[in-house]
């Protein structure tokens, strides 16, 4: 999903607070200034001198509002990569350390090939042209690898305690461990480890693990597992509780995923 804004701002406007859904956004600012005030953070880009772009990870839903400062001509393209789309595309975001921290933007360079693709994406719609929407989607899918390729070229984070713990949680090493056992493994205590982890990720260790398990359960459903099997994989013995947590995270119920898969939508 994408959204393009091209407006001349003659007076400062603060939109009403709204819910920003969890997911990853690629914000490409071709002109003007982009500003979002979240309840627990702040995002801004300034393209007065040249186009700017940044990935903005929302690891959970967040209340916020957009602010349009007067005296600017804002031209902004936002590409929304929601959890449902990410899972269906088999894109493993956990391998990108840049997205670990909630609301922490990661800037990338808007290259000339990217600008050419953006120009083509923003061409006026021509519904009479055969395969117009397919061609537009193709351009969009070509733009994303251009952006993601810049992430793999960056230096990895120093493998400190939090980074090692994050990797272990992602690969399931600590699935059956308690916090005391995990802390002992890292030669520290529970309080210190929890504080270090929460300072970086903005969520607790087990909240992070629950989220990772939900993502694994989504893949299990796509691969033909039953709702109950997916629930057990995510650590839930009650299917109703699992469905509630699943819908809160992905915006769709496990049974809907199964139905869409059968219909060939996914």
For the chain, domains (ranges, CATH) are 2-153 (2.60.120), 161-264 (1.10.10.60)
What are the Cα distances from residue 260, in Å, to 85, 88, 92, 224, 254? 13, 12, 22, 12, 10
State mean pLDDT over 232-250: 89
What mean pLDDT is predicted for residues 144-171? 73
Q: Which pLDDT band, with edges at 50, 70 and 90, does 29 fall under?
A: very high
**Entry pTM:** 0.58
Indicate if the pLDDT at residue 266 is higher than 80: no
- Evaluate if residue 83 carries a pLDDT over 80: no
Residue 61 clears pLDDT 70, i.e. is over it = yes
Tell me what pLDDT residue 187 has.
Answer: 83
Phi–psi pair at 221, nearest 5 degrees: -65, -40
Task: Give the SS3 label for residue 31.
Answer: strand
Q: Is the pLDDT of residue 172 over 90?
A: no
With bands split at pLDDT 50, 70 and 90, how would you rate the model's confidence at 156?
very low
pLDDT-wise least confident of 59-63, 124-128, 223-227: 124-128
Q: 153 falls in which pLDDT band (50, 70, 90)? A: very low
Cβ atoms of 32 and 50 closer than 8 Å: no
Non-local (6+) Cβ contacts of 162 within 8 A are 196, 197, 200, 201
Q: Would you state the pLDDT for residue 152?
A: 61
**Averaged pLDDT of the chain:** 85
| DSSP secondary structure code for residue 13 in this structure | E
Q: Give the orientation angle of helix 205-222 with respect to helix 254-263, to 10 degrees.
A: 30
């Amino acid at each position: 999903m994408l959204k393009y804004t091209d407006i001349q701002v003659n007076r400062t406007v603060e939109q009403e607070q709204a819910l920003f859904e969890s997911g990853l956004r690629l914000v490409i600012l071709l002109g003007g200034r982009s500003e979002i005030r979240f309840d627990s953070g702040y995002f801004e880009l300034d393209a007065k001198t040249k186009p700017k772009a940044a990935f903005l990870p929302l690891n959970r839903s967040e209340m916020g509002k957009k602010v349009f400062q007067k005296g600017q001509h804002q031209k902004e393209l936002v590409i929304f990569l929601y959890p449902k789309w990410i899972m269906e595309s088999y894109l493993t975001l956990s391998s990108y350390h840049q997205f670990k921290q909630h609301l922490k933007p990661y800037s990338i360079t808007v290259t000339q090939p990217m600008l050419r693709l953006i120009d083509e994406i923003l061409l006026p719609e021509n519904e009479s042209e055969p395969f117009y929407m397919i061609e537009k989607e193709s351009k969009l899918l070509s733009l994303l690898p251009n952006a993601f390729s810049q992430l793999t070229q960056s230096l990895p984070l120093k493998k400190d305690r939090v980074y090692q713990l994050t990797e272990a949680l992602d690969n399931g090493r600590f699935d059956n461990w308690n916090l005391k056992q995990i802390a002992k493994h890292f030669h520290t205590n529970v309080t210190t480890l929890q504080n270090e982890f929460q300072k970086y990720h903005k969520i607790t260790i087990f909240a992070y693990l629950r989220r990772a398990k939900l993502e694994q359960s989504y893949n299990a459903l796509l691969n033909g597992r039953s709702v109950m099997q997916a629930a057990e994989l995510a650590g839930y013995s009650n299917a109703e509780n699992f469905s509630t947590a699943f819908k809160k995270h992905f915006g769709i119920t496990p049974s809907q995923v199964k139905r869409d898969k059968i219909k060939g939508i996914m």
